[in-house]
Amino acid sequence: MIDLRSDTVTRPDPTMRDAIAEAEVGDDVYGEDPTVNELETRAADILGTDAALYCPSGTMANQVAIDVWTEPGQELLLEAASHIYRYELGGAARHAGVQTRPVDGRPRGVLPPARIEEHLTEQALHVAGTGLVALENTHNNYGGRAIEPAAIAGAAEVAHEAGVPVHLDGARLWNAAAAQHIAPATFVDHVDSVMVSLSKGLGAPVGSILAGPRGFIDEARRSRKGFGGGMRQAGVLAAAGLVGLDRRQSVRADHERASRLAEGMTAIDGLDVVHPETNIVVADLDPVVADAEAWLATGEDIGILGTDVGPQTLRYVTHRDVDDDAIETAVERLNEVRGRFD
Ligand SMILES: *Cc1c(COP(=O)(O)O)cnc(C)c1O
């Protein structure tokens, strides 16, 4: 089975498992796990922030950021197809008591400064006021679009002018950085906090990093505890994260494979493939051929897994557990899927 549902399906390889076996550990709730401490220091260093916090998931790290930056009743301004809006179960309302203001980011998934300005609200007798702006890079639902630092800077500038902090959901920031040949910190310079995943392209089994200023991270540590995310001997997991951080350039190989996969898919009649900037291949499927659900079910029979991001939209994600040969096989199998609908 070739599993291209997500880069989250990556499994820890032998190097990671060795690091896990050898990890020094302590009680991280007491701040005594040396491996977690090392991971947090190293992540902050790479991201160019004062401090960082190891979280069980990207979702929790995003939710902690929202909780810390906002007051209940405020608004969270974010892109309408963003992960925080679409796939976090209304967490902003549940956990932080904030209402979301989704803003259409078409065509690129990035909110132009003018559009942010238009939707920022200032607190008044009848007006909640914007408490936080959240951005996403790479943008998952826009096919892993790598948004350039200047666009992040432009968006952040209007928010900051209004006194509103900016959080960057950078689950795949490594991919954005690799695609644009720049350091991850270049994006983070413009925002107030960032979340990055260790459990996607980097291949660690568990975990994400929330990074930002020292005072923010101190509060985030308390918030994470409130979410039930205080972990004890988490060094066994953090050890894998450290291996992941060292290999963050390796996602480039995933981008090349996505490119090759996209080329192969372009030749398939009925697929309208968006050329990938990173590791996510999105394709519109001609309804005359099939709908996405039927396509994917047939794929599963033949031995290739993907996901649908719309009734006629397919998504295939490359990752370190799918090598060059597997990509060739993937293209063959997708052709076979197409053949079943003739
Ligand atoms: C995967 C993802 C998350 C959530 O990370 P989990 O570790 O799965 O909770 C958040 N934002 C984006 C853009 C993602 O792709």
In order, the DSSP letters of 291-322 are: -HHHHHHHHHHHTEE-EEEETTEEEEE--TTS
State the burial class of residue 141 (Cβ atoms within 10 Å of its Cβ: 0-12, 13-18, 19+). Answer: buried
- Regarding pTM above 0.85, the answer is yes
Give the position, in ligand 1's atom list, of the atom nearest the Cα of 200.
Answer: 1
Handedness of CA 299, 300, 302, 303 (dihedral sign): positive
Listed residue (321, 270, 261) closest to 294, CA to CA: 270
C-alpha 22 to ligand 1 mean position (Å)? 28
Give the position, in ligand 1's atom list, of the atom nearest the Cα of 82.
Answer: 13
- Tell me which residues of the chain have a pLDDT lower than 50: none
Asked if residue 59 has its Cβ within 6 Å of ligand 1, the reply is yes
Q: How far apart are CA 66 and CA 84, in angstroms?
A: 10
Q: How far apart are CA 309 and CA 334, in angstroms?
A: 17
Report helix, strand or coil for 231: coil
Supply the pLDDT for residue 223: 98
Q: Going edge to edge, which strands form the sheet with 271-274?
A: 271-274, 280-285, 313-317, 307-310
Give the position, in ligand 1's atom list, of the atom nearest the Cα of 138.
Answer: 13
Report helix, strand or coil for 56: coil
If one residue of 8, 197, 227 were mutated to test the ligand 1 pocket, choosing by the most ligand atoms within 8 A of its CB, it would be: 197
C-alpha 200 to ligand 1 mean position (Å)? 9
Asked if residue 202 has its Cβ within 6 Å of ligand 1, the reply is no
Supply the pLDDT for residue 188: 98
Amino acid sitting at position 149: P
If one residue of 60, 87, 135 were mutated to test the ligand 1 pocket, choosing by the most ligand atoms within 8 A of its CB, it would be: 87
Q: How far apart are CA 30 and CA 25, in angstroms?
A: 12
Supply the pLDDT for residue 108: 87
Other Cβ atoms less than 10 A from the Cβ of 81: the count is 18
Asked if residue 254 has its Cβ within 6 Å of ligand 1, the reply is no
Asked if residue 299 has its Cβ within 6 Å of ligand 1, the reply is no
Give the position, in ligand 1's atom list, of the atom nearest the Cα of 57.
Answer: 7
Asked if residue 171 has its Cβ within 6 Å of ligand 1, the reply is yes
Asked if residue 140 has its Cβ within 6 Å of ligand 1, the reply is yes
If one residue of 59, 135, 200, 280 were mutated to test the ligand 1 pocket, choosing by the most ligand atoms within 8 A of its CB, it would be: 59
Asked if residue 315 has its Cβ within 6 Å of ligand 1, the reply is no
C-alpha 83 to ligand 1 mean position (Å)? 7
